[in-house]
Amino acid sequence: MQYRRFGKLDFMVSALGFGCMRLPTLGDQTRIDEPLAIQMIRHGIDNGINYVDTAYPYHGGNSERVLGQALLGGYRQKVKLATKLPVPQVKQYADFDRFLNEQLVRLQTDHIDFYLLHGLSRRTWEFARDLGVIGWAEGAMRDGRIGHLGFSFHDDNSAFKYIVDGYDNWALSQVQYNYVDQTYQAGTEGVHYAASKGLAVVVMEPLMGGNLARPADEVKAVFDRAQRKRTAADWALQWVWNQPEITLALSGMSTMRHVEENLASADRSGGNTLADDDLEFIEAARKVHAALVVVHCTECRYCMPCPNGLDIPLNFQWLNRAVGLRQMFHSRYAYRNAHAASQLASACIACRECEEKCPQHIPISDWMPIVDNVLGKGADYDPKMAPVGNGGSI
């Protein structure tokens, strides 16, 4: 395992962090395959991972509980533990203590090393700030329940800088970043800005929800031309690690194979280690991928559950595969033979409750009729169909 300094702190962190948003499940996202998940987490730690990340809502609230079980038996002492305050669920000042104390119980620990304000935008940062979250967090640091304060982020670059500058003692910023998202949200500019301020830069979605690990044939063909042979996932991870401003990359691993492959990638990682021709292949792959993506959904499932039963990420997956990966027949078949009609885009009533939760700011209610027209009614997809400000086509 390779290690890097954690921002301005005197701590060397593993290049690979274990993200607990995509643990193995048994049928639905709330039912974690607990024995396998615990085995995977402990295997990662045994092989050098010393940073684990979760959040209050992951897996319907079960991620923190399962991670707490995995860290028993001496594993808690081997890692820095990060979890997140669910800012969108906070209604009053007392909720700060209520959520943190519940999380400590779930995680079976007396302290959180890195406590993040979850999924900040300009609006949610101002809400939490004005409610007194900084004073509260500093109190929790003094009483030992929190080690350091940070934030995860989903908004534009100007909002990112605004939040970075909004508090002098941030320990870290967690950003969505990969070779496709160089100018999206915080982007490369934001990564450099946070690093210049001494913040650790923790990368989430280095594989864009797994999409960069299972690329379209056109993207795969670009990498196949490279003299150095790597998996698509390794190309994406090495691009992130190549940047010295990056502190670590979180990977949400769902199988033991993911853990093994990512550990091997992390062993090969390093700042400024990619050759110029490597970077040229990655840039070529980025351009091809950007031309194929229809909706920039990372399948994070923050939009779920839908009050009408709709499976929003699944519908976007079908559309992206139908159009971007040219799997129209298979996607239409899957759509039309879904086990429940309530899953389908046609069930959307445009309540827009999901849109407030979407980190990618996708106008989901505007997209659902398009999905149904293309997959359910057999219409041809026209890029002009895409709603303005779709947050997806790139």
| Each residue's pLDDT tens digit, 89-106 | 999 999 999 999 999 999
Using CA atoms, how far residue 323 sits from 50, 289, 384, in Å, is 40, 12, 14
3-state DSSP call for residue 151? strand
Q: Residue 28: enclosing H or E segment and its boundaries?
A: strand 28-32
Of the three residues 246, 275, 304, the one that is the final residue of a domain is 275
Neighbours of 264 (CB within 10 A): 13
Residue 325 pLDDT level (bands cut at 50, 70, 90): low
> Would you say residue 318 has pLDDT above 80?
yes
Average of per-residue pLDDT values in the chain = 92
Alpha-carbon gap, residue 41 to 17, rounded angstroms? 10
Judgement on whether residues 244 and 332 belong to the same structural domain of the protein: no
> Would you say residue 393 has pLDDT above 50?
no
The domain spanning residue 95 has which CATH number?
3.20.20.100
User: pTM (2 decimals)?
Assistant: 0.82
pLDDT the model gives residue 246:
98
Phi, psi of 223 (to 5 degrees): -70, -30
Stretch among 213-217, 229-233, 239-243, 284-288 having the lowest mean pLDDT: 213-217
Neighbours of 302 (CB within 10 A): 22
Within-domain flag for 394: no
Judgement on whether residues 14 and 95 belong to the same structural domain of the protein: yes
How many structural domains comprise the chain? 2
Taking Cα atoms as reference points, which of 164, 150, 240 lies closest to residue 197?
Answer: 164
Percentage of the chain modeled with pLDDT above 70: 97
Within-domain flag for 319: yes
> Would you say residue 292 has pLDDT above 90?
no
3-state DSSP call for residue 302? coil
Judgement on whether residues 228 and 330 belong to the same structural domain of the protein: no
Residue 381 pLDDT level (bands cut at 50, 70, 90): confident
Judgement on whether residues 95 and 146 belong to the same structural domain of the protein: yes
Bridge-partner residues for 393, per DSSP?
A: none
Percentage of the chain modeled with pLDDT above 90: 68
Judgement on whether residues 336 and 228 belong to the same structural domain of the protein: no
pLDDT the model gives residue 4:
97
Q: Are 49 and 269 in contact (CB under 8 A)?
A: no
Within-domain flag for 151: yes
Within-domain flag for 219: yes
Within-domain flag for 113: yes
Q: Are 85 and 125 in contact (CB under 8 A)?
A: no
Within-domain flag for 293: no
Stretch among 203-207, 248-252, 273-277, 390-394 having the lowest mean pLDDT: 390-394
Judgement on whether residues 115 and 196 belong to the same structural domain of the protein: yes
| Each residue's pLDDT tens digit, 16-50 | 999 999 999 998 889 999 999 999 999 999 999 99
Within-domain flag for 270: yes
- Read off the tokens for 225: 């031309």
Residue 339 pLDDT level (bands cut at 50, 70, 90): low
> Would you say residue 329 has pLDDT above 80?
no
Judgement on whether residues 70 and 177 belong to the same structural domain of the protein: yes
Judgement on whether residues 319 and 223 belong to the same structural domain of the protein: no
Judgement on whether residues 166 and 215 belong to the same structural domain of the protein: yes
Alpha-carbon gap, residue 104 to 341, rounded angstroms? 39
Average pLDDT (249-270) is 96
Of the three residues 275, 302, 320, the one that is the final residue of a domain is 275
Give residue 248's identity as a one-letter amino acid code. L
Judgement on whether residues 57 and 183 belong to the same structural domain of the protein: yes
Average pLDDT (286-305) is 84
Average pLDDT (125-151) is 97
Interacting residues of 119 by C-beta distance below 8 A, sequence separation 6+: 84, 87, 88, 152, 153, 154, 302, 359
Tell how far CA 75 is from the center of its chain.
24
Taking Cα atoms as reference points, which of 169, 165, 147, 198 lies closest to residue 8?
Answer: 198
Phi, psi of 82 (to 5 degrees): -120, 135
User: What is the extent of the structural domain holding 264?
Assistant: 3-275
Phi, psi of 63 (to 5 degrees): -60, -50
Within-domain flag for 290: no
Alpha-carbon gap, residue 110 to 103, rounded angstroms? 10
Residue 300 pLDDT level (bands cut at 50, 70, 90): confident
| Each residue's pLDDT tens digit, 185-209 | 899 999 999 999 999 999 999 998 8
What's 22's DSSP letter? S
Give yes or no for a cis peptide into 305 (omega within 30° of 0): yes
Alpha-carbon gap, residue 137 to 149, rounded angstroms? 7
> Would you say residue 56 has pLDDT above 90?
yes
Of the three residues 219, 248, 275, the one that is the final residue of a domain is 275
Judgement on whether residues 343 and 235 belong to the same structural domain of the protein: no
Judgement on whether residues 231 and 344 belong to the same structural domain of the protein: no
pLDDT the model gives residue 11:
94
3-state DSSP call for residue 90? coil
Residue 394 pLDDT level (bands cut at 50, 70, 90): very low
